[in-house]
């Protein structure tokens, strides 16, 4: 169970009495079939026509199963009309390896989706923790990816050296995801001793300053997060992509933390947990549920607002480019037509002059 969930549930059970013996559903989540495999990615379609395609990358230790660890967050985005493509990846100390694997899978998934429809969906990107760093590296390394993304949201971005990152990741994620250790096993490289990541934190900052696309991301940090380095990201972004971190938390009963995006809704039909009980009809179960998901709901609100504005801005920019191209084509066509008229007039004048010369020669004879 997620660490963020456990602490809140503990508060709820203290007020309500001991938890029931069977705390997990015996049947599979009824909406689990909504998640589909697509070219190595996990696909979740919205109820109606999609507004945009959200490419999601999760954090370390949960990156291989984003559809499990981030189910509530991603299903909320799907409910708001986004087609969610979550790309699993294995963590490696050489960041270029998972980045290349993610890019290959996403390209294949987008090609498969494009074959289904003639209209190409706007692309937006979302990453949490290491996934936010991976989204940054993708934007800096692959120009076609950067050009295609209308907007990006980077949550709890961090770029710590190995000596700091591994102990903190293990402290936060491993206890939180113990029951999920089967699908969340990492590549052997994670367990090996490495001196530093590739590229190094300093190289990542330089890459961002030099290569990050001229489009400001939404940078999100939570109130209680020892891993977060969003301020460092904001400092490294070039002027054309300048962004200030948005802080979430502190206004609710539970401050946001690094594992907030992994919170689950125990009352959701897709949850593996039993609904929270309310034996006295006092709304205690609902209060615990609201505390569990309050910061995630605000995160979804901010993500949705940013993506909506980014997609609209991209559409406006594309329309302006198309209008400029159409105007240029019209001007070129008009210039070509004028040139043809001038050429025809010149030919006619030459012919008339030739006829006059011929008439003059005849008259002279």
Q: Tell me the pLDDT tens digit for each residue of 198-213.
A: 999 999 999 999 999 9
Q: Give the chain's residues under pLDDT 70.
A: 1-33, 162-195, 248-255, 265-292
Find the DSSP H helices in the chain. 3-16, 66-69, 71-79, 96-114, 130-141, 143-148, 162-176, 188-191, 201-211, 230-236, 284-364
Angular region, 347: left φ>0, alpha ψ -120 to 50, beta rest: alpha
Q: Of 219, 217, 221, 218, give the one whose Cα is nearest residue 247.
A: 221
- Give the integer Cα–Cα distance in Å for 189 and 237: 30
Q: Reduced to 3 states, what is the DSSP secondary structure of residue 1?
A: coil
Q: Who's near 12: CB < 8 A, 6+ residues apart?
A: 276, 284, 285, 287, 288
Domains in the chain and their CATH numbers?
Answer: 35-177+195-327 (3.40.50.1820)
DSSP per position, 286-302: HHHHHHHHHHHHHHHHH
pLDDT at 34: 87
Structure tokens of 52? 């945009």
- Give the integer Cα–Cα distance in Å for 333 and 342: 14
Q: Reduced to 3 states, what is the DSSP secondary structure of residue 54?
A: strand
pLDDT at 168: 52
Length of the chain: 365
Structure tokens of 263? 């919170």
pLDDT at 279: 45
Q: Which residues of 233-254 are buried (b: 16+ CB within 10 A; e: fewer)?
A: bbebbeeebebebbbbbeeeeb
Structure tokens of 299? 């995160």
Q: How many CB atoms lie within 10 A of CB 168?
A: 15
pLDDT at 66: 93
pLDDT at 4: 39
Peptide bond into 199 cis (omega under 30): yes
Strand partners, 153: 126, 218
pLDDT at 27: 37
Consecutive H or E run containing 41: strand 41-44
pLDDT at 280: 44
* pTM of the predicted structure, to 2 decimals: 0.74
- Give the integer Cα–Cα distance in Å for 178 and 297: 25
- Give the integer Cα–Cα distance in Å for 203 and 80: 37
Tokens 């003639």 found at: 118
Q: Of 4, 16, 7, 3, give the one whose Cα is nearest residue 275.
A: 16
As a whole number of Å, the CA-based R_g of the chain is 29
């Amino acid at each position: 169970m997620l660490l963020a969930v456990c602490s809140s549930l503990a508060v709820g059970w203290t007020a309500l009495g001991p938890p029931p013996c069977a705390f997990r559903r015996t049947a599979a989540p009824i909406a689990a079939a909504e998640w589909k495999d697509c070219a190595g990615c996990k696909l979740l379609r919205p109820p109606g026509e999609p507004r945009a395609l959200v490419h999601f990358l999760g954090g370390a230790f949960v990156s291989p199963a984003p559809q499990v660890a981030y189910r509530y967050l991603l299903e909320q985005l799907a409910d708001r009309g986004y087609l969610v493509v979550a790309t699993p990846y294995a963590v490696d100390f050489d960041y270029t390896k998972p980045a290349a694997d993610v890019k290959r899978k996403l390209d294949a998934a987008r090609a498969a989706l494009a074959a289904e429809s003639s209209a190409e969906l706007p692309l937006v990107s979302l990453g949490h923790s290491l996934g936010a760093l991976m989204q940054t590296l993708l934007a800096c390394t692959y120009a076609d990816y950067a050009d295609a993304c209308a907007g990006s949201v980077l949550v709890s971005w961090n770029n710590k050296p190995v000596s700091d990152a591994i102990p903190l990741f293990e402290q936060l994620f491993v206890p939180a995801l113990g029951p999920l250790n089967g699908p969340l096993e990492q590549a052997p490289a994670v367990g090996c001793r490495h001196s530093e990541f590739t590229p190094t934190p300093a190289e990542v900052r330089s890459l961002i300053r030099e290569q990050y696309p001229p489009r400001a991301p939404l940078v999100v940090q939570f109130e209680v997060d020892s891993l977060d380095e969003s301020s460092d990201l904001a400092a490294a972004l070039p002027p054309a992509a300048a962004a200030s971190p948005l802080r979430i938390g502190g206004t609710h009963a539970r401050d946001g933390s690094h594992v907030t995006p992994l919170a689950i809704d125990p009352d959701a039909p897709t949850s593996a947990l039993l609904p929270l009980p309310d034996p006295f009809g006092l709304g205690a179960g609902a209060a615990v549920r609201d505390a569990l998901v309050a910061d995630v709901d605000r995160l979804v609100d901010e993500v949705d607002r940013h993506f909506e504005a980014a997609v609209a801005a991209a559409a406006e920019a594309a329309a302006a480019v198309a209008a400029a191209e159409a105007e240029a084509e019209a001007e070129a066509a008009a210039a070509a037509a004028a040139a043809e008229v001038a050429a025809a007039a010149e030919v006619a004048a030459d012919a008339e002059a030739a006829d006059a010369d011929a008439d003059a020669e005849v008259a002279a004879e």
